[in-house]
Amino acid sequence: MKKSFKHIFLATTVFSVLTVGCSKSDLIDLYPQFSLSAVNSPANMDQVEEVLTGAYQGFRSGSYYGDGSGSGFSLMPDMMSDNLLETNESLANYKSLTDWVYADDDALVSGIWSAPYAIIANANIVLRDVDKFTTTENQTRANRLKGQALAIRAHAHFDLFRFFATSYDRSSTTELAVPYVTEFNVSPTVKPARISNKDFYDKVIADLNAAVGLLGNVDQTINPLAIKRPMIDLAGAKAMQARVYLYAGMWAEAIQAATDVIALRPLASPANFVGMYNETDAGEIIWNAQFDAGQGGPGGGVYFSQNNRSAYAPAEEIATMDGTTGLLQSNDIRYDAYFRTIGGPNGLRLVVSKYRGKAALTDGNANFPVFRTGEMYLIRAEARARISPAQEAQAMADLNALRSARITGYVPENLTGAALLTAIANERRRELFAEGHRFFDLKRTTKSIVRAGGCGDPSVSPAVCTLPSTAREWALPIPFDERSVNGNIQQNPGY
């Protein structure tokens, strides 16, 4: 029976559709009662939309953007990198990942594998059924549902790729990605193999291109509320394109996609920046994973605000209590948005407070910013810096524009070559701190992780301080339960 709950193609992967869901307009408050007919044999377009709502609900999983069992794609990439160090307030729940000692039977790894495929199953049900109810009169509604489902499918697959692929090489026909699942099929005879990086990128890019085309012609505003953007609209799909193109080294395409997004979602002003994290302002959010009252949030595994426990703290090279050293300092609006100094059993300490709660609450209920405009500036800057020396001035202009919007009294710089790329990498570390990027940024640029600030003392921080760029642990192992029912899926080297 165990394998029935682990295999990515069995019916249990869609049960998220049948439990808690959300309002179709903004994913808040409501818990509609879904029926099995919405999955097996929908009667109308409304039931197809119910399944799409279930796909969004899946992003709140503790193995995806939630904090219940690993925060796999929200804070875990920072916890596994050099951005966050474990403290003596930790309950040691995540050490197999943060100390890089995972194996193929690790429950945290299994969750990171299965959570995206559950979402993909829901997206594929939508894509299976939406055309059945599409007419001339509701074509733009069908575009809205189909476009979101394609974007969700591409995004969830790409997140899996970031963790489980051994290489991000876009042109490789030998490096293995993950299975790209385009049909909902519960047959135990379906045992897909991993595909090459090249084939994988082709499929992701094709889905996103189709999503962009559809989401440009929809029946209604996808995110109608002023301060919430919980569903993927045209800007969200283009932001996905920009990120994929960056990883693929498709510099011209990354520049264009990021430029399109910036035109749709301008950079937030300093006055609007903090509100993105406590839901008092939409700021520059492009798409956020919505967590409403009673649904938790992404940050509890790092700072559990309900009982003031800081399990992971920012490395000293990121920020310090006095705000005068580190990459983020007190003259930077990101410092107060991301951190605060709070007393506790061990005295004053700097905690990661950006997900402590909405408005003035400290209940840990906060949204996760999957895409926002600051990342688009950094994608465009890096792509410009890498495509040609002739575009380095434009890359520097992007970097200066972002810093000027964040840092009081910032004096623009003029960098080129390796110094410019280093500055962009450091700015990604500042801007995207605790937003699920650092481990993957180091992986895609083939850097080693070198932890500092007390690393090596097991009472206060990880005992393992360095992960070489050639280590097997940059790619998670394919879970044992998956391989036990799918003999066609190949394990990563070294496991």
Q: Indicate which CATH number applies to the domain containing 144.
A: 1.25.40.390
Of how many residues is the chain composed? Answer: 495
First to last CA, the chain: 25
Report the alpha-carbon distance of residue 391 to residue 401 in Å, rounded: 15
Angle, helix 234-248 to helix 139-164, in steps of 10 degrees: 30
Whether residue 445 is contained in a domain is answered as: yes
Report the alpha-carbon distance of residue 83 to residue 318 in Å, rounded: 7
User: What would the pLDDT profile of 412-458 be if each residue is shown by its tens digit?
Assistant: 999 999 999 999 999 999 999 999 999 999 999 999 999 987 787 76
* Residue 32, pLDDT score: 40
* Residue 12, pLDDT score: 36
Share of the chain above pLDDT 70, in %: 91
207-to-56, 117, 190, 249, 351 alpha-carbon distances in Å: 17, 16, 22, 18, 39
Residues 6+ apart with CB under 8 A from 219: 138, 140, 141, 143, 144
* Residue 35, pLDDT score: 54
- Dig out the tokens for 133 from the structure: 């109810």
C-alpha closest to that of 70 among 476, 369, 490: 476
199-to-180, 211, 231 alpha-carbon distances in Å: 9, 18, 28
C-alpha closest to that of 396 among 373, 421, 376, 359: 421
Whether residue 26 is contained in a domain is answered as: yes
Q: How many domains does the chain have?
A: 1
Whether residue 325 is contained in a domain is answered as: no
Report the alpha-carbon distance of residue 435 to residue 146 in Å, rounded: 27
User: What would the pLDDT profile of 224-246 be if each residue is shown by its tens digit?
Assistant: 998 999 999 999 999 999 999 99
| Contact of 477 with 495, CB cutoff 8 Å | yes
* Residue 346, pLDDT score: 77
Report the alpha-carbon distance of residue 97 to residue 372 in Å, rounded: 27
- Dig out the tokens for 205 from the structure: 């890019």
* Residue 345, pLDDT score: 78
- Dig out the tokens for 148 from the structure: 């979101």
Whether residue 489 is contained in a domain is answered as: no
Give SS3 for 174.
Answer: coil
DSSP-assigned letter for residue 70: -
| Contact of 107 with 69, CB cutoff 8 Å | yes
* Residue 195, pLDDT score: 98
- Dig out the tokens for 136 from the structure: 């001339």
Whether residue 63 is contained in a domain is answered as: yes
The owner of tokens 């509609």 is 32
* Residue 17, pLDDT score: 34
- Residue-range definition of the domain harbouring residue 208: 2-294+368-457
Whether residue 113 is contained in a domain is answered as: yes
DSSP-assigned letter for residue 64: T
Show the beta-strand stretches assigned E in 373-452: 449-450
Whether residue 483 is contained in a domain is answered as: no
Ranges of residues in the chain whose predicted pLDDT is under 70: 1-38, 68-70, 458-460
* Residue 461, pLDDT score: 74
Dihedral class, residue 244 (left if φ above 0, else alpha if ψ from -120 to 50, else beta): alpha
* Residue 29, pLDDT score: 30
Whether residue 81 is contained in a domain is answered as: yes
